[in-house]
Amino acid sequence: MRLQAYLHASTLLMAIAAPAAFAQPTSPSAPPTARLGDHPAVVVQRMQRTAGYDYASKFYLHPAHLYLLRASPNELEQMNAAARAALIDSTPDDPRPDTLARR
């Protein structure tokens, strides 16, 4: 009985709070982002024109930057060679042997 009362109360609370959560704030001091009738490309150009320069989007590492490997280069080469050998060993010699017999 208590569980049903709790479920009904939580459903009622969600029904009351949902419109407030999805409502968009409207204030007279905030200018509209786009005028009615503007093409989306015009709106995008206007927004890009007023946006400042984003330094983080143009961050390039120096070609001689330092980085850490999780293993020594020798160990990495050995692991790559072992993976290649395992791939070659697991590949069948003739993937479709029955196609030659039908001709």
pLDDT tens profile 24-70: 655 556 556 667 888 999 999 998 888 888 887 888 888 888 888 77
Distances, alpha carbon 94 to alpha carbons 20, 86, 87, 99, in Å:
65, 17, 15, 10
For residues 82 and 79, give the distance between their C-alpha atoms in angstroms, rounded to a whole number. 5
Q: What is the pLDDT of residue 41?
A: 93
pTM of the model: 0.26
Q: What is the residue type of 28?
A: P
Count CA atoms within 13 Å of residue 82 on its CB side: 6
pLDDT tens across 11-37, in order? 766 677 666 666 665 555 655 666 788
